[in-house]
Amino acid sequence: MSEPIARFHWIVIDSVDPARIAPFWCALLGVEIWGWFGNDYLTLRNNDGAVPSIAFQRVPEAKSVKNRVHVDLNVDDMDDAVRRIRELGGSVVSEERELDGYRWRVMADPEGNEFCIAPDAQD
């Protein structure tokens, strides 16, 4: 394997209102708001480095088409995760899907940014 050209630094998600969406992702991932970078980037971080850092970039337009890139998240229990995500203001985009024994469900945050959840035991 050759030396990598790059490493993950931030995952940046477009947002009309970063301050409104950040608490959703904090609760979802168990991370905290780290602070603002300039006026347009609200950053989240965890202290143990277990997940990449996330930033929300303020943009003027709302999401209008399917995400071309999204994150996949492992959960202990799909039904419980769906319930808790809905309680936080997220939504279900698709019912459970399965491909060659791998199960997942497409979800969305309160601004419509899509992400997938899958049972942790499938790794």
| Whole-structure pTM value | 0.85
Give pLDDT < 70 ranges for the chain: 49-51, 121-123
Instruction: Report how far residue 41's alpha carbon sits from residue 19's, in angstroms, rounded to the nearest whole number.
Output: 10
Identify the pLDDT of residue 89: 97
Q: Which domains are assigned to the chain?
A: 8-60 (3.30.720.120), 70-123 (3.10.180.10)
Query: How far is it, in rounded angstroms, from Cα 82 to Cα 33?
Result: 23
